[in-house]
A and B are shown apart, each in its own frame.
Chain A
């Protein structure tokens, strides 16, 4: 039990906990089934999803990366699983529906190959002894041989190699044993093997699956002074060149006291959040880094990246809900993939007004400033004016009701003269006086 605590504690800085995106036609025959959409089974006190049993195989390590709490020079309790213990624990949790699968990472014990062999042994136990069919995410062990990597890849659903720091200089300073090349090489290898296996099994009936959930990576935000632009363009390059499924960002939390590391206590959570928003724009909204950010700029903490882009491109707005193509709907701040799809579906039947948008449960808080329905704004006071929209978006909660009230007042004042004064009406009904 203590062992589990130590090894989960050491694994907690890995941001990835997704269990999605893996489709296998192959079945190991026992319990378990990966779901396409993934599934979170609990949320830890920091609000993050717990989907997988995220542990290190061991937190003994021969490396001395300054940002890592498992570095050899750090004095912390050390522990190690055996493959038998870990696989039994994983099955025990899985059958009770606590977890969706296993996330296995490890410190380097003895040598990279020795560590990789232990991981491979655990995976073999799970897949062949327990016939476990659930999700398994394995961290690539830097420096392990490609033969082992390949064997692990055939048993895992996803693999990841952490790029850790966005720049070569940062790596040199904080992780002397790692170079950009040593990280990118296994990434390239995994990518090549995925394509190779996919192509070779196109014609085969019983398909082989090499890392069917794709690969992901992670970098630390705020440990070095790389700009958001740099981080984001690196992210985009990783998606394009290495066909990664995800790039995770993790706000730097001080775990070491190396002079090269920043000393502030608060992890840059807002910055991490904005980067994730931008990451989503890259992956699902058809944006490019150059559209989101100018060179070497940072993301605006006040406005989300999409609103920011829209503010810079006001000439493209307002967007007519009933006519705009899907790609343009996606670019409206406040309209996401779900809502854009709903709009496209519903407008096939009839043209939409703002009342209809509300029925589709499209959130208009931000979108209202950027769209028209049949040529009309939601409120006639809206205009395509930079400072008006900017102040509305940054204090949106204060702004919208004020405008609403103004509208409602003017509406009633137009008809005031037509209605009898309320007091008079009441007396006539009651019949007094």
Chain B
């Protein structure tokens, strides 16, 4: 079994293209080749180590689908959603956590989702919570500007790659208004044209000029914002706590 010997001496790293389908292909390869990954990384910006073997996993839609269905069957939709949220997180070891979680899930079934005192599950739970909390914050604090031609544009700088779960919220609510949601941290943008939306790279994205009455509306909002506060109850510490400044890098209120 030269195959086994190889395992002992060299750490195996899987490399994929950074998409969720790509990661599912890594899981597929790892499960069927029975080589436990030491790490899973994305092409972009990775560092190579000498004493390691790198396996490049091509992204295959069919295989991804099979893994996807397997997760759905064995770990359940709840677990699938949690894993997807973990995938969107910016933690460097998220891929390995997803792998470990799935292995636990394939073995133990959907009860895995409840095993919150298990290290892997606790970590996945925490990352998923972090992603959903940040999404919630950006639902609250994203501010659109109405640009020329009536397109709305907003710039956000989230830590996690939340566009895929943030955009449906605004699609559902703006409905008849096209918009562009620009994530400057990950250099991607979501584009909605009132019929459908997609997330793509933001290379070469030049936002149009602000519309003419934008300044007026912003002034109105500022006036409202100041007037609604009760002077006798002033508590700027609580305000800061509720609106951490990192969400306001691209927002002019406050």
| A contact residues vs B (CB 8 Å cutoff) | 1, 4-6, 8-9, 11-13, 30-33, 35, 39-50, 53-55, 89, 92-93, 95-98, 133-134, 251, 253, 265-267, 269, 342, 345-346, 348-350, 352, 355-356, 359-361
List B residues 117-132 near A (Cβ within 8 Å).
117-119, 122, 126
- Counting chain B CB atoms within 10 Å of each CB, the highest count among A45, A48, A53, A93 belongs to A45
Contact A31 B230 (CB under 8 A): no
Judge whether A43 and B239 touch: CB under 8 Å: yes
28 contacts between A and B (CB under 8 A): A6-B227, A12-B227, A12-B230, A31-B177, A39-B139, A42-B243, A43-B238, A43-B239, A44-B239, A45-B226, A45-B234, A45-B236, A46-B229, A46-B234, A47-B236, A47-B239, A93-B220, A96-B146, A97-B144, A134-B173, A251-B233, A253-B230, A267-B233, A345-B116, A346-B116, A349-B114, A360-B122, A361-B126
Report the minimum CB–CB distance from A105 to chain B (whole Å): 13
Which residue of B227, B235, B241 has the most chain A CB atoms within 10 A of its CB atom? B227
Chain B residues within 8 Å of A, Cβ to Cβ: 111, 114-119, 122, 126, 139-146, 152, 154, 170, 172-177, 217, 219-221, 223-239, 241-243, 253-254
Given A30-B175, A32-B175, A96-B146, 10 other A-B residues pairs in contact with their CB atoms under 8 A: A1-B220, A4-B227, A12-B227, A33-B173, A47-B239, A50-B225, A92-B220, A348-B114, A349-B115, A350-B117
**In-complex Cβ contact of B117 among A31, A32, A89, A359 (8 A):** A359
Residues of A within 8 A of B227 (CB): 4-6, 8-9, 12
A46 touches B230 (CB 8 A): yes
Asked, given contacts A4-B220, A33-B172, A350-B115, whether A42 binds B145 with beta carbons under 8 Å apart, the answer is no
**Which are the 8 A-B pairs with shortest beta-carbon distances?**
A47-B238, A356-B117, A44-B229, A346-B116, A8-B227, A46-B233, A45-B229, A47-B235
B interface SS class: helix
- Whether B229 and A12, one on each chain, are in contact in the complex, defined by CB atoms closer than 8 angstroms, is yes
The answer to whether B232 and A44 have CB atoms under 8 Å apart is no
Asked if A253 and B233 make an inter-chain contact with CB atoms under 8 angstroms apart, the answer reads yes
Contact of B114 among A46, A97, A346 (CB under 8 A): A346
Q: Which residues of A contact B235 (CB under 8 A)?
A: 45-47
* Contact indicator B225/A42 (Cβ below 8 Å): yes
CA distance A1 to B225 in the complex (A): 12
Asked whether A53 lies within 8 Å of B239 as measured between CB atoms, the reply is no
Nearest CB of chain B from residue A345's CB, rounded to whole Å: 5
Q: Are A44 and B228 in contact (CB under 8 A)?
A: yes
Which residues on the A side are within 8 Å of B224 (C-beta)?
Answer: 4-5, 8, 53, 55
Docked CA distance A40–B170 (Å): 15
Nearest residue (CB) in B for A13 is B230
Q: Are B140 and A40 in contact (CB under 8 A)?
A: yes
Given A93-B221, A97-B143, A349-B114 in contact, is the A11-B174 Cβ separation under 8 Å? no
- B177 x A95 contact (CB < 8 A): yes
Known A-B contacts A30-B176, A96-B145; the reply to A89 vs B139 at CB < 8 A is no
A1, A47, A92, A95: which has the most chain B beta carbons within 10 Å?
A47
CA of A350 to CA of B112 in the docked complex: distance in angstroms? 11
A44 surroundings in chain B (CB, below 8 A): 225, 228-230, 239
Q: Which residues on the B side are within 8 Å of A6 (C-beta)?
A: 227
- How far in angstroms is the closest Cβ of chain B from A342? 6
Closest B residue by C-beta to A55: B224
Name the distance in Å between B91's Cβ and chain A's nearest Cβ.
16
Measured CA separation A348–B139 after assembly (Å): 34
A92 and B224 CA atoms in complex are apart in Å by 13
B-chain residues with CB within 8 Å of residue A96 when the two chains form the complex: 143-146, 152, 217, 221
Cross-chain contact B141 with A41 (CB below 8 angstroms): yes
* B residues near A134, Cβ cutoff 8 Å: 173
Query: Beyond A5-B227, A9-B227, is A95–B174 a contact (Cβ under 8 Å)?
Result: yes
Can you name the residue of chain A whose Cβ is closest to the Cβ of B172? A33
The answer to whether B237 touches A98, judged by C-beta atoms less than 8 angstroms apart, is: no
A53 to B223 Cα, complex, angstroms? 12
List the A side residues contacting B241 at CB < 8 Å: 47
B185 smallest CB distance to A (angstroms): 19
Contact assessment for B139 and A45 in the assembled complex, using a CB-CB cutoff below 8 Å: no
List, in ascending order, chain A residues with CB within 8 A of B243's CB: 42-43
Which residues of chain B have C-beta atoms less than 8 A from A89's C-beta? 220
From residue A20, how far is it (CB to closest CB) to chain B in Å? 13
Q: Is the CB of B142 within 8 A of A97?
A: yes
Cβ B175 vs Cβ A46 within 8 A: no
User: Considering only CB atoms, which chain A residue lies closest to B224 in the complex?
Assistant: A8
A33 to B176, CA, bound (A): 12
Q: Which residue in chain A gives the minimum CB-CB distance to B118?
A: A349
- Chain A residues contacting B143 (CB-CB under 8 Å) are 96-98
Q: Write out the residue numbers on chain B whose beta carbons fall within 8 Å of the beta carbon of A361.
A: 126
| Complex: chain B residue closest to A11, CB-CB | B228
- A269 and B219 contact, CB distance less than 8 A: no
By a CB distance below 8 angstroms, the chain B residues around A95 are: 144, 146, 152, 174, 177
Contacts of B223 in A (CB 8 A): 1, 4-5, 8
Known: A42-B254, A46-B239. A92 touches B228 (CB 8 A): no
Which residues of chain A are near B139, meaning CB under 8 Å?
35, 39
Q: A8-B227, A30-B176, A31-B177 are in contact. Are A345 and B146 (CB under 8 A)?
A: no
